[in-house]
Amino acid sequence: MATSGARKKSKSPKRTAPKRVAKKVSRQSPVSAVSGKTPLETGLGGMELLLLDNCPDGVVAVDRGGVVRYMNSAAEALLKTKANKLIGQKFPLPFDPGRPQEVSLPGSGQTNRVAEVLACEVKWGRERISVVSIHEVTDRVRREEQLRALSDLDPLTGLLNRRGFLKTAQRQLSLARRKKWSMTLFFLDLDGLKYINDSHGHVEGDQALVETAKILQKTVREPDIIGRYAGDEFAILAFETQRKSAGGDQISIRLRKRLAAYNARRTPSKKLSLSIGLAHFDPKKPVSIEELIDEADIKMYEEKRTKRRAR
């Protein structure tokens, strides 16, 4: 019997390429050290990793438990520690998502380093992670402190200026009121400063102010406050001893002695003269620093008028 057509070829089993088992990307940690994976294996692309590693600000990922899950190179430098030592540990700086905070950074020696910390909360898989940015502001804070110091100091004499004196004296009076301390306010005027400026020039006038400031600084005690209140006016707020006004009297005596000793070594044109007015602060009847200054100012001008009549 003749066969029709060619014999049917038997089908051979189809070869299939072995299935590749895809690595599961862990979303539990955006970081390497906890899961044992690199940032790339946890979903970070090359560009993201490049940006993070070269960001000038520190970037740290912190989980809801406060544990560090990732930190970039800048964060290592700012926190003075390596990532493999801090990842998996508690984040050492305080932060509040949505609100910037200034915090102290670990420093070397006596250096005080300051950073602004800002955090935002993001979703990572099923977790919520705080992304914390650390930006060092040490230089800015130092400049601000220098400006504040300069704004409270008289550049010529180095004493507190009017603003600095009033601010410091008001704090001292508040303390004196609570502690029941008596105090004395001295208001002093450098006599004849206009004559010195007109006759010998402003350089000599400035030198007279500087010398007056030195005499006052040598006269007062450590806790007493001294300032250049205006052009030729100075103010001192001094603690009194237990005997009312004794502290003020002692300072007046010391001041006049030092002034006399200074003048004894100077030519007539270089001698200094001060008119002084005093006002006492009674903690049982407290008044403001401005009221004390007004009272002492009146008494100072009374002494100045007496000097003029005596000429």
The domain spans of the chain are 32-140, 153-310
> For the CA atoms of 284, 233, 275, 222, what is the dihedral angle to 10 degrees?
60
Question: Quick check: 191 pLDDT over 50?
Answer: yes
Per-position DSSP letters for 34-71, written without gaps between them: HHT--GGGGT--HHHHHHHHH-SSEEEEE-TTSBEEEE
Neighbours of 271 (CB within 10 A): 16
> Which range has the top average pLDDT, 42-51, 158-167, 191-200?
158-167
Helices (H), 135-192: 138-152, 162-179
**Sorting pLDDT into bands at 50, 70 and 90, what band is 18?**
low
pLDDT above 90 coverage of the chain, percent:
51
pLDDT in tens, 267-303: 888 899 999 999 999 999 989 999 999 999 999 999 9
What does the pLDDT average to over 241-255?
70
What does the pLDDT average to over 184-204?
90
Question: Quick check: 29 pLDDT over 50?
Answer: no
User: CA-based diameter of the chain, in Å?
Assistant: 162
Q: Which residue has the higher pLDDT, 250 or 12?
A: 250
Question: Quick check: 66 pLDDT over 90?
Answer: yes
Residue 192 has φ and ψ, to the nearest 5°, of 70, 25
Query: Same CATH topology for 32-140 and 153-310?
Result: no
Question: Quick check: 37 pLDDT over 50?
Answer: no
Q: Mean pLDDT, the chain, as a whole number?
A: 83
What does the pLDDT average to over 85-93?
93
pTM of the model: 0.56
Question: Quick check: 34 pLDDT over 60?
Answer: no
Q: Which residue has the higher pLDDT, 67 or 198?
A: 67
Residue 78 makes CB contacts below 8 A (sequence gap 6+) with 58, 105, 115, 134, 136
Nearest Cα to 129, choosing from 67, 63, 72, 65? 63
Fold assignment, 153-310: Alpha-Beta Plaits (3.30.70)
The crossing angle, in degrees rounded to 10, of helices 162-179 and 138-152 is 90
Helices (H), 96-245: 138-152, 162-179, 193-200, 202-219
What does the pLDDT average to over 233-256?
78
The domain made up of 32-140 is a member of CATH 3.30.450.20: yes
What does the pLDDT average to over 239-264?
79
**3-state DSSP assignment of residue 113:** strand
